[in-house]
Amino acid sequence: MLLPRWFAEALLLLLSILACSNAAFIGVNIGTDLTNMPPPSDIVTLLKSQQITHVRLYDANSHMLKAFANTSIEVMVGVTNEEILKIGRFPSAAAAWVNKNVAAYIPSTNITAIAIGSEVLTTIPHVAPILASALNNIHKALVASNLNFKVKVSSPMSMDIMPKPFPPSTSTFSPSWNTTVYQLLQFLKNTGSFFMLNAYPYYGYTTANGIFPLDYALFKQLSPVKQIVDPNTLLHYNSMFDAMVDAAYYSMEALNFSKIPVVVTETGWPSSGGGDEAAATVANAETFNTNLIKRVLNNSGPPSQPDIPINTYIYELYNEDKRSGPVSERNWGILFPNGTSVYPLSLSGGSSSAALNGSSMFCVAKADADDDKLVDGLNWACGQGRANCAAIQPGQPCYLPNDVKSHASFAFNDYYQKMKSAGGTCDFDGTAITTTRDPSKFFSFPLIYVLQ
């Protein structure tokens, strides 16, 4: 039955209001450009232990989507920048993409959003004219699968499309992108979706040539003489993050769009950088993300939209050590590739005792590892690697079961637990893998030896 237009519009408005009235969430981006990527099942176990309810994937990796099955975690999948042209030009390609990467996993996997590309206007501007078509084609494919009310579609935008974001009240989108942005906003309004924004106070601070204090970027309280005030509205901005989000709201209003919620799809702070990246430190990264989480979870919006919470995804779960570019590019993660924490952080806003860390990660032999390679790794771990292998000698508590995989797992894990904080990895020529499963539960050696 075809719904009356007024009823459909009212329903979309209601859904938008309900979405905005929910408690704010902190999600996390999961990039994959790293060595020793943990198995998807271990990533999901780690996220569940931290009560993470939302994740963003940059593609629609089947292994990851299967791992999220039968969990309550809401998943945002991504159409890659390389896929946009085909999807925008051919509705059949969009339908095939939705059928393969979304419909095939619902309802087991809780996919609730699709991000069309990433920062399309500023990274691949030649694709901009086809972006609106890609959005519409994906949405039509969702309608055909009866998934359009469950799965929302949008496209993450960079702060760079707003050339002068401060003061927020005068911010506008770059005129060169007005046509494309208008089409995007009209689509978001019509479908009850949200504006995806990648907002990085780190870059706002480092490119401002000292105009803004570091404390402002880190959510720290400013002295009365240093407080940031919009001269036109007299609204006080306690953080650069809030000002960036408000700049997006004011830019939308300049095109006569209001109340489209802003969701921050990326934000974070690098923990290390090169010689010319002095602000990229562990202390600053920990301060930023800790304060960001507190800020988001207080359920308030920015000064101009105090009733619209700022749902936010932290960039990112792991340091992507294979990324090119400045040193900071490889150091946005809250975990090292080997699973250890870069700094303590509770993504659920709890105490530091519940902080996300790698202490529950173990290193074991792969089930299909070659025995000869395992022997080489075992000998290295017990020798040059200085693992304590006394417990797996004949007659000792962890000798049984007497097979190479059990002994290698013990030695690998002993080495890993001792050396991971110094950068030691769980690889052993590709024969080892990290897991959140306690090895003492499926090998006979006692935990006291595993964690010594």
CB 356 within 8 A of CB 334: yes
Asked whether the CA dihedral 46, 48, 54, 59 is positive or negative, the reply is positive
For 419, the enclosing helix (H) or strand (E) is helix 404-419
Examine the residue annotation and report whether 266 is marked as an active-site residue of this protein: yes
Q: What CA–CA distance (Å, rounded) separates 18 from 243?
A: 25
The string of DSSP codes covering 114-145 is EEESSSHHHH-GGGHHHHHHHHHHHHHHHHHT
CB 261 within 8 A of CB 194: yes
Catalytic residue among 74, 82, 83, 119: 119
Catalytic residue among 83, 266, 320, 329: 266
Q: Are strands 111-116 and 152-154 parallel, antiparallel or unpaired?
A: parallel
Examine the residue annotation and report whether 74 is marked as an active-site residue of this protein: no
Cα of first residue to Cα of last residue in the chain, in angstroms, is 66
For 362, the enclosing helix (H) or strand (E) is strand 362-365
Distances (CA, A) of 415 to 34, 340, 378: 21, 14, 10
Give the residue among 220, 317, 217, 228 at the shortest CA–CA distance from 266: 317
Q: What CA–CA distance (Å, rounded) separates 332 from 320?
A: 8
Token pair 């994906």: residue: 138
Classify 358 in phi/psi space as left (phi over 0), alpha (psi -120 to 50) or beta. alpha
Residues with a known catalytic role? 119, 266
